[in-house]
Amino acid sequence: MNQKAAVGQLSALRLKYRERKDAFLEENIKVKDPFYIFRDWLSDALNTEEILEPNAAALATVNAAGKPSNRFVLVKEATAEGFTFFTNYGSRKAEEIASNANVAIAIYWMPLRRSIRIEGIAEKISKEASLKYFHERPRASQIGAAASPQSQRIRSRSYLDEVEAGIKATLGENGEVPLPNWGGYLVRPSLIEFWQGQTDRLHDRICFRRGAGVLDEVDGELVHKGENEWVYERLAP
């Protein structure tokens, strides 16, 4: 198939989602807390063989001029505080977070026909926590992080190979890799939305929000009180 024919088929693509009997309903949520649902859905994703990287997430940031950018990261921790990922602190994403800490994360588990959308504020975790995780990584990954000036222009692939070889020569086989300009961010969420696809395109969307004034919006009809100062609402697809 040539490129033109392949592109022409985009409009005809249709994936079958879930049936109405599998609808994502509020009354089936045992604990009205988004982290409870996240852990439940993550467990399903971890037990689905077709999902090879269940912690892969698209991270969106915005620069000082309001221009957005997006890339995939790996979520390495999810607690009641938020979601943690790691990166080079000199990268484009880190520079944009420094100028505008508002970020968004999207996770899509296609075999489950589920997606999770998160909005919140990103903040650096402690250097001690970053160092601990850094040294839990495979040594080759540690050296790779030290070798790469992430998001900076480089002359060729061979440049990275040369830097990597230099680090290996300096450290020897067993030398500890020092922490480079690299570490973690914790995204403290103010919004977590759960999406589950329906074949008739009347998809389920249940959104949890937390923050100043949200509890005042609770009316028991459109906005409902959840656990731990969260409110939740159903959104039209």
What are the tens digits of pLDDT across the range 137-172? 999 999 999 999 999 999 999 999 999 999 999 999
For residue 10, the tally of other CB atoms under 10 A from its CB is: 7
Strands 83-88 and 102-109: unpaired
- Domain coverage including residue 133: 16-137+181-234
**Percent of the residues in the chain that have a pLDDT greater than 70, as a whole number:** 98
Q: Which amino acid is at 2?
A: N
Q: Quick one: pLDDT band at residue 15, thresholds 50, 70, 90?
A: confident
For the chain, the average pLDDT equals 95
Active site residue 113: no
Q: Which of 18, 201, 205, 210 is flagged as catalytic?
A: 201
Distance between first and last Cα of the chain: 34
**Residue 155 falls within a domain, yes or no?**
no
Give domain status of residue 64, yes or no: yes
pLDDT at residue number 16: 85
Residue 166 lies in a domain: no
Q: In angstroms, rounded to a whole number, what is the distance separating the alpha carbons of residues 210 and 230?
A: 5
In a domain, 173, yes or no: no
